[in-house]
Structure 1
Amino acid sequence: MISLAPLHFLPYHNAVEETDYKVKLDIFEGPLDLLLYLIKREELDITEVSIEKITRQYLDYIDTFRMLNIDLASEFIVMAANLIYLKSRTLLPKQEQPPEEEGDEDDPRWELIRQLVEYKKFKDAAGYLARREEEQQGYFPHQPERPELPPVETDPVAELSIFDLIQAFQKVLKRFESEHDFGQIVDDRFTVADKVEFLLTELQPGGRRRFQTLFEMATTKAEVIVTFLAVLELMKMNQFRVRQDLLLGDIEIERRAES
């Protein structure tokens, strides 16, 4: 399931008709979460981080957030500036390193690596405690009679984060840009409300669709962006949830069954 930190999704003013619409999600993830996600995706050890590669990927995410007019927390911008600074230092010869306290170390990455290691320790500990709490909820002081319960729906085996969803959206957008000619202007003033209604019509209760197929009808970049914002809104409304039944498999959008 997607773990959701407070980011505010605003309309894409360069392509989407100006409205007062906002999407607000609670996404409990920050810049260090994004860095750990990028490192894990590259299957690297934290101590083997390539500042140049991670910086480029991190800035790609920032660009996507800005394209969606996400009101980024200041920590994301501070981390971006810090990564660019570290990248610039790695390009300098040792004799030209800045005469600052942090310049005493041979590798300018170490302070960031220490932060990531410590953060991962706390994150893993919090995850362990959450699992223990869930296990303890299954214990009872007295053994009751076993009730007959309907079969419980199993959750997806692969955990997803909001960054997985953003990455899937980036792939859709890149594929769309490579397959479409933007020389022809199309007047499509879709709003998020329009796309919410469209997606609810396309996906009946209990139905599932691959994430990328939701954009097959789009004819412009603006429509792709608005469709993605509509997916986020439907997630916030608890109408849609994201699934990935196999690790590295297709991401699917599932509409919750009506109770």
Structure 2
Amino acid sequence: MMSENSFYAEENSPYTVRLEAFEGPLDLLLHLIQKNEMDIFNIPIALITEQYLEYLKWMKTLNLDIAGDYLLMASTLLHIKSRMLLPQPSVEEEEEGDDPRAELVRRLLEYQKYKMAATELVQRPMLDRDVFIRLISTEERAPEEERIEANLFDLIDAFRKAIERAKEESFHEVILDRLSVEDKVQEILLLLQKEKRSLPFHLLFHEQASRRVIVITFLAVLELVKMKWIRVFQAAPFETIRISPV
């Protein structure tokens, strides 16, 4: 569990990422359900509530602007959890009553169906869609890799692993880095142009990087994704995050 006194605060920078550009609270719940291989029809509310609140703490640490929808969902989960802790009804009463999770399950299934339809639509070839200047010419590109698009929460997972490693190496953190998000954006673009291939997320910072540099790297990656200059992907769900130029 992360300490409530966060190890990092972007006090010297007003840079904030708005989550509306990426994912919503239902996306986070679906991510947790898939990651933990939960049965969507029988969600362990206590566990998923704990993990959901933990993600909100990490998102706050990352200067992610947590929209009201996320806080509303947190309240919903806590309310469902409290109802689940009440004395269980008899079999007859249970058949007549509603499962406190029923409405949440309905919303998740409906949203999951919508997301699948939207993904299929996006994957259809469209003439002159997404026209932009490529960072690397077709001739210079490495062969296409098997890829599954990574989401915001996959990136947060990768960030957490990097931070855990940085905690163990905290004695290297002598001087407070003055690197900005804008600096890191340019650095990542130059690195991709030089390498001409996809790179694992952890190679975007050196082994002895401070926790602040890791956070700024994360924010720079989000900015590049938002601008559609890079893709973040995995060979399979929950495997190593890689980035490549669009």
TM-score (norm 1): 0.70
> 1:55: which partner in 2?
49
CA distance, structure 2, for counterparts of residue 218 and residue 195 of structure 1: 16
> 2:159: which partner in 1?
169
Relative to structure 1, the CA distance from residue 15 to residue 245 in structure 2 (aligned partners, 3 Å threshold; closer, same or farther) is same
Amino acid at match of 1:236: K
Do residues 111 (structure 1) and 111 (structure 2) align? no
Retained in 1: the 8 A contact 2:19–2:65?
A: no
| 2:187 aligns with one of 198, 202, 209 | 198
CA distance, structure 1, for counterparts of residue 9 and residue 204 of structure 2: 19
CA distance, structure 2, for counterparts of residue 156 and residue 210 of structure 1: 14
> 2:31: which partner in 1?
37
Structure 1 residue 24: Cα displacement: 5.5
Do residues 120 (structure 1) and 109 (structure 2) align? no
**Deviation digits for residues 134-157 of structure 1, max 9, x if unmatched?**
26x59xxxxxxxxxx98x974743
State the secondary structure of the residue aligned to 1:46.
coil
Retained in 2: the 8 A contact 1:16–1:190?
A: no
TM-score (norm 2): 0.74
Structure 1 residue 75: Cα displacement: 0.8
State the secondary structure of the residue aligned to 2:199.
strand
Relative to structure 1, the CA distance from residue 191 to residue 159 in structure 2 (aligned partners, 3 Å threshold; closer, same or farther) is closer
> 2:70: which partner in 1?
76
CA distance, structure 2, for counterparts of residue 204 and residue 107 of structure 1: 53
CA distance, structure 2, for counterparts of residue 203 and residue 128 of structure 1: 29
- Unpaired runs of 5+ residues, structure 2, are 1-5, 90-95, 128-137
Matched residues, number: 223
Structure 1 residue 67: Cα displacement: 0.8
- Unpaired runs of 5+ residues, structure 1, are 1-11, 96-103, 139-148
CA distance, structure 2, for counterparts of residue 182 and residue 85 of structure 1: 43
| 2:232 aligns with one of 226, 236, 242 | 242
Do residues 186 (structure 1) and 170 (structure 2) align? no
**Deviation digits for residues 74-101 of structure 1, max 9, x if unmatched?**
1111001111122222223237xxxxxx
CA distance, structure 1, for counterparts of residue 204 and residue 122 of structure 2: 34
> 2:212: which partner in 1?
222
CA distance, structure 2, for counterparts of residue 247 and residue 183 of structure 1: 33
Relative to structure 1, the CA distance from residue 215 to residue 114 in structure 2 (aligned partners, 3 Å threshold; closer, same or farther) is same
> 2:93: which partner in 1?
none
CA distance, structure 2, for counterparts of residue 126 and residue 183 of structure 1: 45
CA distance, structure 1, for counterparts of residue 164 and residue 187 of structure 2: 23
Amino acid at match of 1:113: V
> 2:244: which partner in 1?
254
Retained in 2: the 8 A contact 1:210–1:251?
A: yes
**Deviation digits for residues 18-48 of structure 1, max 9, x if unmatched?**
2344555763531112111211222222112
Do residues 46 (structure 1) and 40 (structure 2) align? yes
Retained in 1: the 8 A contact 2:163–2:214?
A: yes
Structure 1 residue 51: Cα displacement: 0.5
Amino acid at match of 1:117: L
State which structure, 1 or 2, has the greater radius of gyration over its C-alpha atoms. 1
